[in-house]
């Protein structure tokens, strides 16, 4: 037994330490992200808004030492611009001997730049000299450079990246819906695995933010190259963190997922730290994350195969589809980094994952809905009198625990006169009618002021809170008047004796109420019997 307690304490300390380390890493990631976003906010590009057909320069560039060269068309519209993207490092652009653009290294590998061209540059040599290496520069220029008017390049950019805008809208809607599911499910059942959907919502939202910034839409709207590129990097690094947290909730016994998630968060903090100190751009460090994603894919599929259940089968299918798209994305990216196909494939993987998870959630929701409905039905049966619809003795005892310390509680006890004689003479059907008629009279008079219970065959209780002694006497008088001429069947009178006691009376505690109300009810019962014999109604109500 000691060994078991020691192991439990050890595991609890380990979990506390894990949570503490995770919080520290999140604080570090948050601080570095804010600092880098603020620092890169001033690294703006000359994003021009472009009026004539665009002309692609892809494949026309040649290498000459550290410089890449291409020849401009002999004629092009005035106020044309040169579009370049995916260039890492600082670079300089010349038309002939004139320097028309020079930029420092912003580390924004996904940045798109629109550079104004001189109107008299037709037929001249266009030269781009960069610090990132002539081969990578040549690949970037031959992959995505173009020349055209502002409107033409705008239309070209919008069409080539329209999928990212659609995916961003989808991610926002899907994440809001998933967050709603998570909050609602936590309210219904905090132990249900559906609350993992909250972490999934964060993953979906990060995916949408990455897609829209990687596709240069945010940069296009704001002109803030460095800021948008840093948002894209942070979102991409956080995607595997949230995804692993989602899997942790689904498979709490798979400790390897905790270590993977901690490793992903550490890589994120390290990448931001290297970017912050200037040691290494986060866009070079992203290759480490790509390798980590491959490892994560292998480990996760192995974990799911060992923990396969009916509940997570659908999620496993979605995870495999997502990881397949992720690996395909990496292959396409390294084969042709200037192509937008890799981003579209990853967006497709996220959509497939969301669809599979929502399908599983729907199954969970229907199951939990049925369970909650069944629990409500059982609870209603446990605390409800079937014949009258009032609370039963169990409900009364439960409610007594809630009001036993209240300063002003009144208890009214009722007993039906002649129930046994009615049952013996007219049978159970008339007996039930007498009980229901009595319950209706009690409910109509006392329900607005408290709760009514049927605690026995012919016994009822009313638990009133905040009612004065005078109000209780008035309610009893009103009840006696309501029941005076009440009949059922072929003229059978409905007579109900009652007695009340209140904690406002001197020396009366909550524990005394039942005994005192019961005693006064029997006094009233005797008075009603004398009334029937004498024809007098003088003693009908007494408290």
pLDDT of 264 strictly over 60: yes
Q: How confident is the model at residue 533 (pLDDT cuts 50, 70, 90)?
A: low
3-state SS class at 72:
coil
Residues in Cβ contact with 7 at an 8 Å cutoff, skipping those fewer than 6 apart: none
Cα–Cα–Cα angle for 114, 149, 228, rounded to 5 degrees: 30
Average pLDDT over residues 249-274: 86
Per-residue pLDDT at 461: 92
Per-residue pLDDT at 452: 92
Q: How confident is the model at residue 123 (pLDDT cuts 50, 70, 90)?
A: confident
Identify the residue with better confidence: 372 or 227. Answer: 227
Per-residue pLDDT at 357: 78
What are 486-499's pLDDT values in tens digits?
888 778 888 899 99
- Asked whether the beta carbons of 51 and 77 are under 8 A apart, the reply is yes
Per-residue pLDDT at 296: 87
Average pLDDT over residues 114-136: 80
Query: Phi and psi (nearest 5°) for 90?
Result: -70, 150
Residues in Cβ contact with 225 at an 8 Å cutoff, skipping those fewer than 6 apart: 43, 44, 45, 47, 106, 108, 111, 113, 219
Identify the residue with better confidence: 299 or 41. Answer: 299
For the record, the structure tokens of 507 come out as 């020396």
Per-residue pLDDT at 7: 42
Identify the residue with better confidence: 410 or 188. Answer: 410
Identify the residue with better confidence: 74 or 225. Answer: 74
Per-residue pLDDT at 446: 92
Percentage of residues of the chain with pLDDT beyond 70:
80
Identify the residue with better confidence: 165 or 369. Answer: 165
C-beta atoms surrounding 292 within 10 Å: 16
- Asked whether the beta carbons of 138 and 68 are under 8 A apart, the reply is yes
Per-residue pLDDT at 223: 66
For the record, the structure tokens of 498 come out as 């009652």
Q: How confident is the model at residue 47 (pLDDT cuts 50, 70, 90)?
A: very low
Distance CA 90, CA 491 (A): 103
Q: How confident is the model at residue 48 (pLDDT cuts 50, 70, 90)?
A: very low
Q: How confident is the model at residue 440 (pLDDT cuts 50, 70, 90)?
A: very high
- Asked whether the beta carbons of 537 and 531 are under 8 A apart, the reply is yes
- Asked whether the beta carbons of 293 and 326 are under 8 A apart, the reply is yes
pLDDT of 459 strictly over 80: yes
- Asked whether the beta carbons of 438 and 460 are under 8 A apart, the reply is yes
What are 299-318's pLDDT values in tens digits?
887 887 777 766 667 777 88
* Structural domains of the chain in order of their starting residue, each with its CATH number: 2-41+161-369 (no CATH), 55-158 (2.60.40), 393-534 (3.30.70.270)
Cα–Cα–Cα angle for 461, 462, 463, rounded to 5 degrees: 115
Distance CA 265, CA 243 (A): 11
What are 4-29's pLDDT values in tens digits?
444 445 445 555 666 676 777 777 77
Q: What is the dihedral of CA 256, 261, 263, 264, to 10 degrees?
A: 140
pLDDT of 105 strictly over 80: no
Identify the residue with better confidence: 504 or 366. Answer: 504
3-state SS class at 454:
strand
Quote the mean pLDDT of the chain.
79
- Measuring CA to CA, which residue among 311, 350, 323 is closest to residue 194? 311
- Measuring CA to CA, which residue among 172, 230, 239 is closest to residue 34? 230
| Alpha-helical runs (H) found in 125-196 | 134-144, 150-160, 162-188
Q: How confident is the model at residue 414 (pLDDT cuts 50, 70, 90)?
A: very high
Q: Which residue has the tokens 């999140």?
A: 26
- Asked whether the beta carbons of 314 and 359 are under 8 A apart, the reply is yes
Identify the residue with better confidence: 515 or 181. Answer: 515
Per-residue pLDDT at 503: 84
What are 204-241's pLDDT values in tens digits?
899 999 888 887 666 666 667 677 778 888 888 898 88
What are 507-530's pLDDT values in tens digits?
788 888 888 989 999 998 888 888
What are 351-361's pLDDT values in tens digits?
888 888 778 77
Identify the residue with better confidence: 172 or 54. Answer: 172
Give buried/exposed letters for 58-79 (b at 16+ CB in 10 A, else e).
eebbeeeeebbbbebeeebeee
Query: Phi and psi (nearest 5°) for 464?
Result: -110, 135
Q: With DSSP H G I counted as helix, E B as strand and the rest as coil, what are the percentages for the chain, rounded to 5?
A: 60, 15, 25
For the record, the structure tokens of 351 come out as 């959509």
For the record, the structure tokens of 378 come out as 């059982």
Average pLDDT over residues 432-453: 90
Per-residue pLDDT at 462: 92
Per-residue pLDDT at 412: 92
pLDDT of 97 strictly over 60: yes
């Amino acid at each position: 037994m000691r060994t078991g307690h020691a192991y439990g304490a050890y595991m609890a300390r380990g979990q506390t330490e894990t949570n503490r380390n995770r919080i520290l890493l999140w604080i570090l990631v948050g601080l570095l992200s804010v600092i880098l976003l603020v620092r890169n906010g001033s690294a703006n590009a000359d994003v021009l808004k472009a009026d004539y057909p665009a002309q692609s320069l892809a494949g026309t560039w040649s290498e000459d030492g550290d410089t890449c060269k291409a020849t401009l068309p002999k004629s092009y519209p005035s106020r044309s611009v040169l579009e370049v993207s995916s260039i890492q490092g600082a670079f300089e652009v010349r038309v002939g001997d004139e320097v028309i653009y020079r930029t420092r290294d912003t580390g924004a590998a996904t940045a798109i730049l629109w550079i104004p061209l001189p109107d008299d540059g037709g037929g001249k040599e266009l030269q781009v000299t960069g610090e990132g290496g002539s081969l990578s520069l040549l690949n970037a220029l031959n992959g995505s450079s173009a020349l055209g008017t502002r409107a033409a390049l705008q239309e070209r950019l919008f069409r080539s990246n329209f999928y990212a805008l659609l995916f961003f809208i989808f991610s926002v809607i899907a994440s809001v819906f998933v967050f709603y599911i998570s909050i609602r499910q936590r309210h219904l059942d905090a132990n249900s695995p559906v609350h993992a959907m909250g972490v999934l919502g964060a993953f979906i939202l990060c995916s949408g933010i990455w897609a829209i910034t990687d596709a240069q839409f945010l940069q296009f709207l704001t002109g803030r190259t460095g800021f948008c590129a840093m948002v894209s990097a942070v979102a991409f690094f956080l995607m595997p963190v949230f995804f692993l947290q989602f899997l942790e909730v689904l498979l709490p016994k798979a400790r390897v997922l905790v270590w993977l998630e901690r490793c992903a968060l550490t890589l994120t903090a390290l990448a931001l730290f290297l970017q912050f100190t200037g040691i290494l751009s986060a866009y070079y460090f992203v290759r480490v994350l790509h390798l980590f994603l491959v490892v994560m894919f292998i480990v996760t599929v192995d974990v799911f195969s060992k923990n396969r259940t009916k509940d997570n089968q659908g999620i496993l299918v979605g995870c495999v589809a997502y990881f397949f798209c992720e690996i395909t994305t990496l292959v396409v990216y390294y084969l042709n980094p200037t192509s937008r196909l890799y981003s579209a494939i990853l967006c497709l993987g996220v959509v497939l994952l969301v669809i599979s998870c929502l399908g599983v959630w729907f199954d969970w929701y229907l199951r939990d809905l049925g369970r909650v409905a069944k629990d409500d039905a059982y609870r209603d049966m446990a605390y409800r009198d079937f014949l009258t619809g009032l609370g039963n003795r169990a409900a009364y005892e439960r409610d007594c625990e809630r009001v036993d310390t209240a300063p002003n509680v009144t208890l009214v006890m009722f007993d039906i006169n002649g129930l046994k004689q009615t049952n013996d003479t007219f049978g159970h059907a008339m007996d039930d009618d007498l009980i229901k008629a009595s319950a209706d009279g009690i409910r109509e008079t006392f329900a607005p002021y408290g709760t009514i219970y049927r605690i026995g065959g012919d016994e009822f209780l009313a638990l009133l809170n905040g009612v004065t002694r005078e109000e209780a006497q008035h309610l009893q008088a009103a009840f006696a008047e309501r029941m005076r001429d009440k009949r059922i069947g072929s003229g059978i009178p409905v007579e109900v004796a009652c007695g009340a006691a209140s904690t406002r009376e001197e020396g009366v505690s909550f524990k005394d109420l039942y005994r005192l109300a019961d005693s006064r009810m029997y006094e009233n019962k005797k008075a009603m019997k004398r009334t029937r014999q004498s024809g007098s109604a003088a003693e009908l109500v007494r408290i």
